[in-house]
Amino acid sequence: MLSEQLISNVIQATKLYEGEIPYMYLDSKGLVTVGVGFYLPTAENATSYQFNTRNNTPASSEQIISDYEVVAAMQANMAASYYKRNNGLIMPTEEIDAQLRSKIGVFATELAGLYSDFYYFPDSVQEALFDMVFNLGITNLRTTWPSFNAAVGEQNWQVAAEQSNRKAPVSQARNEYVKNLLLSAV
Closest CA to 35 of 94, 107, 104, 123: 94
**In whole angstroms, what is the distance from residue 163 CA to residue 165 CA?**
6
**Omega of the bond prior to 169 within 30 degrees of 0, cis?**
yes
What's the average model confidence in pLDDT over 122-150?
A: 98
Of residues 87 and 129, the one with the higher pLDDT is: 129
Q: What is the average pLDDT across 44-72?
A: 97
Top pLDDT among 27 and 57 is at: 57
Strand order, beta sheet including 38-39: 21-26, 32-35, 38-39
Q: What is the pLDDT of residues 83-98, one digit of tens each?
A: 999 889 999 999 999 9
Mean pLDDT of 13-31: 95
Amino acid in the structure at residue 93: T
Backbone angles phi, psi at 91, to 5 degrees: -90, 120
pLDDT value at residue 125: 99
Q: pLDDT (tens digit, 9 = 90+) per residue, 138-179?
A: 999 999 999 999 999 999 999 999 999 999 889 999 999 999
1 — pLDDT class (breaks 50, 70, 90): confident
- The residue among 67, 26, 70, 186 whose CA lies nearest residue 122 is 186
Supply the pTM of this predicted model: 0.89
Boundaries of every domain in the chain: 4-13+96-183, 18-92
Cβ-based neighbour number of residue 182 at 10 Å: 28
Contact residues for 39 (Cβ-Cβ < 8 A; gap 6+): 27, 31, 32, 33
User: Which pLDDT score is estimated for 120?
Assistant: 98
Confidence of residue 128 (pLDDT cuts 50, 70, 90): very high
What is the percentage of the chain residues whose pLDDT exceeds 90? 95
Question: pLDDT, tens digit, for every residue of 63-83?
Answer: 999 999 999 999 998 999 999
**Three state DSSP letters for 68-86:** HHHHHCCCCCCCHHHHCCC
